[in-house]
């Protein structure tokens, strides 16, 4: 069955270009020109992936992303923006975006990112080996894509879940930011390791009692991150 992609873009020429390339690649495409309409389609259609422009009339892309994550909708999101400021990227990722593409972009690159993000999300559903993991107050069910802290379910985005899973499966080992980019994001971010730090920060906010003094996800200065081993 073809994967369904929602393109949220108010510039018709760009929306048509993205739609054409996605359809040519075998995807089913939905298009929305504003944030409120996009939310309706997300809730009704439940697309497999969302390509979300930030600069939308009325409700912008940041607000759309904020709402769907607040509603615990874990659909992968690629954010689009004509701005290339680092803080714009960081804000988009902190609100729950899984990737960020700056205009003008190569249709081939965007398609590669769509495929990579969908592939990684699907791999989470088919995950392997150890089905569950627990450490102190944290319990994670890989096959069910469920994480609990203190017996309460914690909602993660697909990318957050995948990053946490990778760290857990390599617990006790220091993993560099570059390796995480390669293994979790699945393509070249041209050295932009900030995306890793942002996702680690979001994970800590959700699973750590004191995010500034993390217990589970530990920083190894100058190298990367390490997930705590069992005592």
1.10.10.10, 1.20.1260.10, 3.30.70.980, 3.40.50.10680: which CATH number matches 127-227? Answer: 1.10.10.10
Query: For residues 99, 105, 111 and 112, what is the CA-based torsion angle, rounded to 10 degrees?
Result: -70
* Angstrom distance (rounded) from CA 3 to CA 19: 13
Q: What is the pLDDT along the chain (231 residues), one digit of tens a residue?
A: 689 999 999 999 999 999 999 999 999 999 999 999 999 999 999 999 999 999 898 899 999 998 998 887 878 999 998 876 667 777 777 788 888 888 888 898 899 889 888 877 766 555 444 578 888 889 988 877 789 998 899 988 888 888 998 898 888 888 888 888 878 876 555 446 788 898 999 999 999 999 999 999 999 888 899 998 765
Which pLDDT score is estimated for 82?
80
Rg (CA), the chain: 18
C-beta separation of 54 from 80 below 8 A:
yes
Which pLDDT score is estimated for 32?
95
* Angstrom distance (rounded) from CA 48 to CA 41: 12
Which pLDDT score is estimated for 128?
46
Which pLDDT score is estimated for 70?
83
Q: Please, is 77 exposed, middle or buried when counting C-beta atoms within 10 Å of its C-beta (0-12, 13-18, 19+)? A: buried
Of 201, 186, 58, the residue nearest 112 (C-alpha) = 186
Of 23, 48, 50, the residue nearest 32 (C-alpha) = 50
C-beta separation of 33 from 10 below 8 A:
yes
3.40.50.2300, 3.90.400.10, 3.30.420.130, 3.40.50.300: which CATH number matches 4-124? Answer: 3.40.50.2300
Q: Which tokens sit at 45?
A: 């259609």
All structural domains of the chain with their residue ranges: 4-124, 127-227
* Angstrom distance (rounded) from CA 225 to CA 181: 12
* Angstrom distance (rounded) from CA 127 to CA 188: 23
Of 129, 195, 205, the residue nearest 168 (C-alpha) = 129
């Amino acid at each position: 069955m073809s994967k369904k992609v929602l393109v949220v873009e108010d510039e018709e020429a760009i929306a048509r270009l993205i739609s054409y390339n996605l359809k040519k690649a075998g995807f089913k495409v939905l298009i929305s020109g504003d944030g409120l309409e996009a939310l309706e389609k997300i809730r009704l259609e439940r697309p497999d992936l969302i390509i979300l422009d930030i600069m939308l009339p009325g409700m912008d892309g940041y607000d759309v992303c904020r709402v769907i994550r607040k509603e615990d909708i874990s659909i992968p999101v690629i954010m689009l923006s004509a701005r290339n400021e680092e803080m714009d990227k960081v804000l988009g990722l902190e609100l729950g975006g899984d990737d960020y593409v700056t205009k003008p972009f190569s249709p081939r690159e965007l398609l590669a990112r769509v495929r990579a993000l969908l592939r990684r999300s699907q791999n989470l559903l088919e995950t392997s080996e150890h089905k569950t993991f627990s450490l102190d107050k944290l319990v994670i069910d890989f096959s069910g894509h469920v994480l609990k802290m203190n017996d309460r379910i914690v909602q993660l985005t697909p990318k957050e879940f995948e990053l946490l899973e990778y760290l857990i499966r390599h617990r006790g080992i220091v993993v560099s930011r570059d390796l995480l980019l390669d293994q979790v994001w699945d393509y070249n971010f041209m050295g932009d390791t900030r995306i890793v730090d942002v996702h680690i920060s979001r994970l800590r906010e959700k699973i750590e009692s004191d995010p500034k003094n993390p217990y589970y996800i530990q920083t190894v200065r100058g190298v990367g991150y390490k997930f705590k081993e069992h005592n």
